[in-house]
Structure 1
Amino acid sequence: MMVPVALMLLGALTAFVAPRLLSRVDWPDREPVVALWAWQCVVAAVLLCCALSMTLSAAAAWQAVRGHLFAPAPRPVVEAYALGAAGGPWAAATAVALALAGLWSGAMLVREVVRARARGRQRRAELLVRAPLLPGEEPGGGPLVVLEGERPDAWWLSGATPRLVITTAALRRLKGRQLDAVVAHEQGHAQARHDWLLHCSAALAAGFPQVPVFAAFRDEMHRLVELAADDMASRRFGRLTTALALVELNEGRGVFGPGPAAQAHVTQRVHRLLAPPDRLTAARRLRLTATAALIPVVPLLVAFVPGLRALGQ
């Protein structure tokens, strides 16, 4: 039973240490795409620790599971895990608890996706009311929808036929290439499928509110996807243009005024665009990406090392 316990301890250590390390370094704001990858690897490692611990605990508790799991393995490999002697109520309870947690995570993800699709249907219905189809026009025919509105706004409506929705107030305020920058920002979200990152992080945070790593994962996803989309727009149309577009879209919402604002992160995004931090070198980006990719490998090594060691003897 030592390997399942080691995996649980490793998962807890990863969940505790990794977010604190990521919050102390300065490169996530400089390289949001790499930071997105690193956070995904951390969460994947935590979930992998739980999944492997559940599997081995079930093998320790029930002979039927052990027989199927180690059916092709030679006897020394099975003995290396000492699962038969470690079985019992603790192994069964651990396996059942982790299995229920996995089912709960899946249910939370399904709920999040269903709610997102319901919100999408509602927004499409509202869009159809505000921008009715003209005679001969097919539903979802165009990728761009212009709405009459006094508030400057623009958003990407995902779905089978993604569409960019922009208000007439935004068209009046955005000048020149600023509109192109807004379009590029929203396209960046769509191309990178940021909506799935937000769904997964929201599902984990809602399903396990007592686990700080999942709440931090959700908050960082919301922040980093915006920074990544800003960078995509600024690379095509310039940082000043993108910053001015952000100001024009959010100036009337009290974001830049005195006192706390609901969207205070917009101010930070504008400052970041106007005073951009130096990007990391390509070599360091590659090292960080490779290092992050190794994080989920550690649970696999912990799980398989006893068997591999037994095979090598």
Structure 2
Amino acid sequence: MTVPVALLLLGALTALLAPRLLARAEWPEREPVVALWVWQCVVAAVLLCCALAMALSAAAAWHAVRGQLFAPAPSGVVDAYALGTTGPWAATTAVLLACGGAWTAVMLTREILGARARRRRQRAELLVRSPLLPGEEAGSDRLVVLEGNRPDAWWLPGAAPQLVITTGALRRLKGRQLDAVLAHEQGHAQARHDWLLHCSAALAYGFPQVPVFAAFRDEMHRLVELAADDVASRRFGRLTIALALVELNEDRGVFGPCPTPQAHVPQRVHRLLAPRTRLTPAHRLRLTAAAALVPVVPLLVAFVPGLRALG
């Protein structure tokens, strides 16, 4: 019964060390897309450790589960896992992990349903503030212009995604700055960053005592903005999108000495104005491949005893 214990220890070690290593690394700010992939692989590995440990603990505790899980395997494979030598804690472990999995599903469902409700409410408000013209169908136009003195622009995801911009933003943004802001928001939509934000928020709210999930949520919010900035800067230049960010946010006090909820905006502007050299393609490929191997490690830990018995 050492495999479930090894999996739980591996998951705890990954959850403890990976955020610290990523926080100390200097390359995520240079390669936010790669960093997004690495974070997803880390969290997937932690969840996979818990799922595999739950399955093996349940197999050790109940013969019915064992028969289903190891139905196609020879008896030697079952003996290799020493499932019959388990103590009374196997059932408790399986039940706790199953409850954790069910709670994760509940929180993810709650987050998705809440996001849909917010989008429906926002779309209803848009129709009030910007009513449809005669013959115009809802969702037929992806750009909505709202009257408002406050410069702002955002992407409203959904089945019929819409880009919303205020007249204050149209007055403030000059030249290609408007195109850069639109490209930034389109970068969010094309990469489906809203799904990353929903999943990270569900894990963080569902398990507030687990630091890796809180770090995952915070880094997703930061990295998706950096990735979208890079999409816009590749098309219109770093200076253009940096000036656009300043124009949209300078009246909100984000560039003052006091911290605000948008404190990341000055960091984004500084990153755009003082860009660091990107990693080489070979380096990015190595990081991507190494991150993809992280979820493979729990699978190896779970399957090695059976593979040894077959070999």
TM value normalised by structure 1: 0.98
Q: Please name the residue that 1:305 is paired with.
A: 304
Query: Counterpart of 2:55?
Result: 55
1:158 alignment partner AA: P
1:140-199 deviation line (CA, Å, top 9, x unaligned): 121111110000000001111111000011011111110110010000000000000000
Query: Which position in structure 2 is the counterpart of 1:139?
Result: 138
TM-align CA RMSD: 0.7
Q: Which residue of 2 aligns with 1:168?
A: 167
Structure 1 residue 238, shift from structure 2 partner: 0.3
Matched residue count = 311
Q: How does 1:286-301 map to 2 (within 5 A)?
A: 286-301=285-300
Any idea what the Cα deviations from partners look like across 1:32-67, whole Å, max 9, x if unmatched? 000000000000000000000000000000001101
User: Following the alignment from structure 1 to structure 2, what is the Cα–Cα distance between the partners of residues 262 and 110?
Assistant: 27
CA deviations 1:212-231 (Å, max 9, x no partner) are: 00000000000000000000
1:184 aligns with 2:187: no
Q: 1:273 aligns to what?
A: 272
User: Hey, what's the Cα distance between the residues in 2 that align with 1:230 and 1:294?
Assistant: 28
- What residue is the counterpart of 2:45 in the other structure? 45
Secondary structure of 1:27's match? Answer: coil
Equivalent-residue separation in structure 2 for 1:35 and 1:213 (angstroms)? 15
Q: Say which SS state the counterpart of residue 164 (structure 1) adopts.
A: strand
Residue in structure 1 matched with residue 67 of structure 2 by the alignment? 67
Instruction: Give 2:84's aligned residue.
Output: 84
Structure 2 equivalent of residue 98 of structure 1: 97
Counterpart in the other structure of 1:283:
282
Aligned residue identity for 1:84: G
Residue matched to 1:232 = 231
1:262 matched residue in structure 2: 261
The residue identity in structure 1 corresponding to 2:9 is: L
> How far apart are the structure 1 equivalents of 2:69 and 2:259?
55
Query: Could you list the per-position Cα deviations for residues 237-276 of structure 1 after superposition, in whole angstroms to 9, with x for gaps in the alignment?
Result: 0000010111111111111123222211000000000001
Partner SS for 1:233: helix
Q: Secondary structure at the match of 2:181?
A: helix
Return the offset for 1:99. Answer: 0.3
Q: Counterparts of 2:67 and 2:84 in 1: how far apart (Å)?
A: 11
Q: Distance in 1 between matches of 2:159 and 2:77?
A: 49
Structure 1: distance between partners of 2:35 and 2:261: 24
- 1:197 corresponds in structure 2 to 196
Letter in structure 2 aligned against 1:50: C
Moved more, 245-254 or 45-54: 245-254
Query: AA paired with 1:272?
Result: R
C-alpha separation between the residues in 2 aligned to 1:45 and 1:141? 41
Q: CA deviation at 1:277?
A: 1.1
Match of residue 247 from structure 1: 246
Distance across 2 between alignment mates of 1:212 and 1:187: 31
Runs of 4+ in 1 over 4 A off after TM superposition: none
The alignment partner of 2:28 has SS state of: helix
CA–CA separation in structure 1 for the residues paired with 2:259 and 2:204: 25
- Residue 212 of structure 1 is matched in structure 2 by 211
Q: Where do residues 114-153 of structure 1 align in structure 2 (5 Å cutoff)?
A: 114-153=113-152
Counterpart secondary structure, 2:278: coil
Distance 1:166 1:178 in 2: 13
